[in-house]
A and B are shown apart, each in its own frame.
Chain A
Amino acid sequence: MARQFSVKRLPGFSTIAMICFIGLYMPIVTLVVYAFNAGTSIAVWEGFSLRWFYSAWNNTQVVDASIRSLQIAFCAAIVATVVATMAAIATTRTAQYRGLTFKYAFINLPLLVPEIVTAVALLIFFSQIKVYTGYSGLGYLIAAHAAFCIPFAYLPIRARLESMDLTLERAAADLYATPFQAFRYVTLPLLWPGILAGMILGFVISLDDVVITEFVKSGGQDTLPTYMLGQLRRVVTPEMNAISTVFLLLSFAIVTIFFFLSRNEKTS
């Protein structure tokens, strides 16, 4: 009997896979390990300590930047999700027409535009608005982040809408639901996992943006990533590692929560 083909039996497969995994995760592991270094070096181990976590916690600049990052990510994710949900419904719940494919492309185009181009464009655009309105708050950063989060939020929502059984909405209409009621009682509850996925994706993407933030931010509007970038130009202490580790845990936590939420959805 012929043995079933398994890529595992190809010579060198395991070795290459191991190298890839080490290449991917070794730096992260190192980073996390040195967050607990008692010394001031990020390369020489001097014993275990939590001092850099305390130090980051007491660094008001770090705390301010973190809060700002979370504020921006939270607002941007919500704005992006609302817009993306509307866009996804508009592009899936319609008869095929000329130009629909073009619209898909149009919505996803920001994924392809080099970030630096978007950043410069936004910088110029916003600076003009600033001149006219005199407003220079976080609104610009939120708007910018929302803009580049939309395609990320759009993709899972659209995927969910496309996999949804259209006859459910028909059944609702058949049972006297107005289009709005059908959306409210049938489409939306079934769309939740997609919306949540879109929102979390948007949140995470916004949280670690550097390029656009660096260009758009006004003075004193550092987010955590731009603050860290600024620090790297000076001395690098394991405080950076500690911040990054917390950041990493936060991302893990979000993804895990989402995973369990969506799993419950499936089993119930």
Chain B
Amino acid sequence: MQNIVKDFGHFRAVNDVTLKIASNEFFTLLGPSGCGKTTLLRMIAGFEMPTKGSILLDGAGIASLPPNQRPINTVFQNYALFPHMTVADNIGFGLKMLGRPKAEIEKTVADMIRLVRLDGREKNLVTQLSGGQQQRVALARALAPQPKVLLLDEPLSALDLKLRKSMQIELKRLQMETGITFVFVTHDQEEALTMSDRIAVMSEGQVRQIGSPWEIYDRPAERFVADFIGETNFLTAEVVSVSGDRARVRLASGAEIPASFPANTTPSGKVTVVVRPEHARAAPVSGASVLRGTIHDIVYLGTDTHLHVVLEDGTPFMVRQQNARSGPCGYDKGETLGIELSDDVAQILRD
């Protein structure tokens, strides 16, 4: 996809998006609601025409083809199953429209039924199925014609938490088994991190960062990405030196630590550095402490304890400690402590 722009009247829903999605990839568009994910997906499917830009599939431009001529299928957010057809007829619909012989359709439908584990449900009307089963019919229907690309628009958002977790695993399995490229849309960062090969984080119609789940999480390029995904601490710092792909920065406490920075930038002067709460440790103040502060609040969460610390310069900072032992964490509110960082955990943000 190159320089895609989509306007609705004066409103720019998608602004200059360029993406390259590899075949067999599980690619996720992640962003808050209203950021243009669905619009982008609809342009790939062919329900909307880009105002500007081109969409290529295996090198051929498809932006002006109608949806029925694109080898791309969609799993709709509300499933959009045909209520007057049986499970088998729904799944076989695409192949029937492609004019495939009856025997082939029957065989593929049977394979699909097995793939999504709906054995024995072939003759049911789709309205007689539960939400999770309908979801799987929608998947099977979109997979049956073996599209080059499968588009999924928040397909799990209507399911309850437990079902969602098992469908996440199921989806990943289906993608591996079929080898079809999945383009998955979600606003749920955890979902994106669990399933994706690569993630594009979007906001206000623009792609902010593209990368593998760990790059997105550990090496956010800008404040929006760092803030949107997980919890994070923002610290102001000053760049001391840059060598190769690492910089040394001096924190407000005076300590100097190494930090990574986004590609194609050269950090200098005052910068913002992010540190994930689980990459920091609380300890008595010592030579190893890079930061110092007082405990403002302690939140016990079962698996973890969150220590909300106020640093000497007034900046809030959170430390997440795993509760490796049972019992309270051993600190009290108001106590002064030092904070140590694991190696190579700080990341400089692009301004």
A interface with B by C-beta (< 8 Å): 165, 167-168, 170-178, 181-182, 185-186, 189-190, 268
B82→A174 contact, CB < 8 A: no
Bound Cα distance A146, B225 (Å): 63
A168→B80 contact, CB < 8 A: yes
Bound Cα distance A182, B74 (Å): 16
Apart from A170-B74, A178-B97, what 5 extra A-B contacts exist at CB < 8 Å?
A173-B67, A174-B74, A175-B73, A185-B93, A268-B125
A175→B47 contact, CB < 8 A: no
Min CB–CB distance B180 → chain A (angstroms) = 15
A177→B82 contact, CB < 8 A: no
B80→A175 contact, CB < 8 A: no
**In-complex Cβ contact of B141 among A173, A175, A182 (8 A):** A175
Which B residues are CB-close (under 8 A) to A165?
78, 80
Bound Cα distance A11, B78 (Å): 49
Which B residues are CB-close (under 8 A) to A173?
46-47, 66-68
- 30 interchain pairs, CB-CB under 8 A: A167-B80, A168-B80, A168-B83, A170-B74, A170-B80, A171-B76, A171-B80, A171-B81, A172-B82, A173-B46, A173-B67, A174-B45, A174-B47, A174-B72, A174-B74, A174-B142, A175-B68, A175-B73, A175-B97, A175-B141, A175-B145, A176-B69, A176-B97, A176-B98, A177-B97, A178-B68, A178-B97, A185-B82, A186-B82, A190-B83
Min CB–CB distance B192 → chain A (angstroms) = 23
Tell which of A173, A176, A178, A185 has the most Cβ of chain B within 10 Å. A176
B68→A177 contact, CB < 8 A: yes
Min CB–CB distance A1 → chain B (angstroms) = 35
Which A residues are CB-close (under 8 A) to B141?
175
Closest to B76 in A: A167
Bound Cα distance A168, B141 (Å): 13
Cβ of B94 within 8 Å of any chain A Cβ, yes or no, is: yes
Closest to B151 in A: A174
The 6 lowest CB-CB distance pairs between A and B, nearest first, are A175-B94, A171-B80, A167-B80, A176-B97, A173-B67, A177-B97
Bound Cα distance A182, B145 (Å): 17
Bound Cα distance A170, B81 (Å): 11
Per-residue CB contact flags for chain B residues 36-80 toward chain A (1 = under 8 Å, else 0) read 000000000111000000000000000000111100111010101
Cβ of B20 within 8 Å of any chain A Cβ, yes or no, is: no
B97→A181 contact, CB < 8 A: yes
Min CB–CB distance B108 → chain A (angstroms) = 13
Tell which of A170, A171, A185, A268 has the most Cβ of chain B within 10 Å. A171
Bound Cα distance A175, B73 (Å): 6
Min CB–CB distance A32 → chain B (angstroms) = 40
Which A residues are CB-close (under 8 A) to B93?
172, 175, 177, 185
Q: Known contacts A171-B74, A181-B97; is A176 also within 8 Å of B80 by CB?
A: no
A174→B67 contact, CB < 8 A: yes
A189→B97 contact, CB < 8 A: no
Min CB–CB distance A193 → chain B (angstroms) = 11
Per-residue CB contact flags for chain B residues 76-105 toward chain A (1 = under 8 Å, else 0) read 101011111000000001100110000000
Q: Known contacts A176-B145, A177-B97; is A170 also within 8 Å of B67 by CB?
A: yes
Which A residues are CB-close (under 8 A) to B78?
165, 167
Bound Cα distance A165, B80 (Å): 8
Bound Cα distance A167, B66 (Å): 15
Which A residues are CB-close (under 8 A) to B125?
268
Which A residues are CB-close (under 8 A) to B66?
173
Bound Cα distance A168, B142 (Å): 13
Min CB–CB distance A191 → chain B (angstroms) = 11
Bound Cα distance A189, B141 (Å): 19
Which B residues are CB-close (under 8 A) to A175?
68, 73, 93-94, 97, 141-142, 145
Bound Cα distance A119, B51 (Å): 52
A170→B68 contact, CB < 8 A: no
Per-residue CB contact flags for chain B residues 124-140 toward chain A (1 = under 8 Å, else 0) read 01010000000000000
Bound Cα distance A167, B79 (Å): 9
Which B residues are CB-close (under 8 A) to A185?
82, 93, 97
**In-complex Cβ contact of A170 among B47, B72, B94, B98 (8 A):** B47
Which A residues are CB-close (under 8 A) to B84?
189-190
Min CB–CB distance B151 → chain A (angstroms) = 9
Closest to B42 in A: A170
Bound Cα distance A176, B84 (Å): 19
Bound Cα distance A181, B69 (Å): 13
**In-complex Cβ contact of B73 among A174, A178, A182 (8 A):** A174
Which B residues are CB-close (under 8 A) to A171?
74, 76, 80-82
Which B residues are CB-close (under 8 A) to A190?
83-84
Min CB–CB distance A97 → chain B (angstroms) = 14
Which A residues are CB-close (under 8 A) to B127?
268
**In-complex Cβ contact of B68 among A168, A176, A189 (8 A):** A176
Which B residues are CB-close (under 8 A) to A168?
80, 82-83
